Structure 1
Amino acid sequence: MKRINDKIKLSEIMDTLGLDGSTSKQGIQLFRRLVDLINNEPTQDIFYLSINDAFFASSFGREGIVKVAKHFRKTKGLCLVDIEDEEVLENLISGVARLEQPIPYYVEDELNLVHANKIGTPSKSNAQVYEYTLKRELTNAHDISEAFELKINNASNKLKILFEEGFLLRKEDKSSSGGIEYFYYPIK
C-alpha cells in the first residue's frame, strides 16, 4: 500500500463529536469538521480519510464525506483508506451518484473508485487518459498528445474534463512561451 502517514481518522472524529453515523444531520456535522481540518492545512492537497472502525448510513456518508470531496473539487483531493467493510463503500455509492463526485480509495496497494456501473468513473473516452495519469506524478497535454496520438487541444480537453469532473487536480506553471501550462495529477 502507498505509504500514507497523515490520516484523518473518521472513527475518532465521530467519537469526539458523538456521532453514530445514522443521519444526514450528523453527516453535516462531520462535513463542517472535515472542512475545518482541511482548511487548516493550506499547503496539503490530498487528504486521506481512514474509514477503519467506522460504519455509517448512506445519508451520513453523502453529507459528511462525498460533499467534502465535492466542496474541495479542483483544489484538494480526498482519498479513503483502511476500508475493512465493503458495505461502507456501498453506503457511499448513492452520494457519489447524486453529487456526481468521484471518490478514490485504497484496498491494500490498489487504488479504486467508489462507483456503481459507470457512475463515479471517467467516461469511456477518458478512461485511458485517467489510467495513464495514475502511473505518473504529473501529466500535461503534451504527454497525452504523444501517448495517445491526439491533437494537443484534444488532449488538453480530456485532461480538463477529468479535472472538472473531480478525477484529477492540477498545478499551473509558466511555459517557455510565456503562457500558462497546466500539469495534472490524480488523487491517490
Structure 2
Amino acid sequence: MKQKISHIRFIDFSGEANPYGTLRGKQTYEKLVDFIESSPAYILGISFDGLTGADSSYLRESLISVVKKFKDERSIFIQDLTDRDIIYNLKLAAEAKSQPIVNWVGSECMVLGPEPSPSNRALLDLVISNRSLTTSKASSTLDISVQNASTKLKKLFEDGYITRSEEAAETGGKEYIYHAIGQSA
C-alpha cells in the first residue's frame, strides 16, 4: 500500500496535557477537521505522546467524531497510548459513537470500541497479524468460502476496523488487498 501517511501529535491540537469536556472536545474536533481536510495524506497516525489524561466526553467529541466523519475517506489510527485510564475512556467514547479505532504501541495493535461479531473478529485478527491479505488468503486460512470471506472483510472495512487498496489480480481484473490500519500500511 503506497499511500501517504501523516503523523501528528494529539497534544498539538488539544493544547493541554489533560483535556476534558464536550466543549473542548468540539474545539479540538474543528482543529483536526481543518488539518485533515488540508492534508493530502490518506492515512493519519495520531500520537498520544505527552497526554497525561483525557475524559471520555472529550475523546468522543474530538477524536472519535473525527474518525467517524472521515471513515469513508481516510484511515486514522492512534499510537503511543499506553495509559490504562485514557485507553478505558477512549474505549467508552468509541463504543458511544459505534466507531472503532486502532491503537498501535510498537508492533502491537489493539482495536478499541465496539466488538465485531466472533466470526468477523477472527478475520480482523487475521488481517492484523498478517498486516495485509487478500480475500482468497483469508478464505483458505480460515477454511471459509471466498464469498463469505469477501462479505466479512467488506463489512470490517465499512465499519472502520481495517482499510483496503485495489490492485490488479494475478488472474486478471482487480482485487482488494485488506490492511490493518496504521503502522502496517
1:15-35 CA-to-partner distances (Å, cap 9, x unmatched) read: 2xx796222122112112112
What residue in structure 1 maps to residue 109 of structure 2?
111
Paired with 1:147 and 1:178, the residues of 2 have a C-alpha distance of 23
- Work out which of the residue numbers 132, 147, 164 in structure 1 matches 2:158: 164
Query: Aligned pair count?
Result: 177
- Larger displacement relative to structure 2 (74-83 or 92-101): 74-83
**Deviation of residue 73 (structure 1)?**
1.2
One-letter code aligned to 2:152:
K
- Measured in 2, the distance between the counterparts of 1:6 and 1:73 equals 16
TM-score with structure 1 setting the length: 0.82
| Superposed displacement of residue 164, structure 1 | 1.4
Please state whether the residue corresponding to 2:130 is helix, strand or coil: coil
- 1:136 aligned onto 2:130: yes
Computed over aligned residues only, the root mean square deviation of the Cα atoms, in angstroms, reads 2.3
Does the CA contact (< 8 Å) of 1:104 and 1:113 recur in 2? yes
Structure 1 residue ranges without an equivalent (≥5): none
1:13 is aligned to 2:13: yes
Residues 36-66 of structure 1 show CA distances to partners (whole Å, capped at 9, x for unaligned) of 2222222x33211111222222111001011
Unaligned runs of 5+ in 2: none
Distance in 2 (CA, whole Å) between partners of 1:154 and 1:10 is 38
2:94 is aligned, of 93, 96, 102, to 96
Amino acid at match of 1:12: D
How much has 1:109 moved relative to structure 2?
3.2
Match of 2:61 in 1: 63
* Counterpart residue number, 1:126: 120
Higher relative strand content:
2
Instruction: Return the letter of the residue paired with 2:111.
Output: L
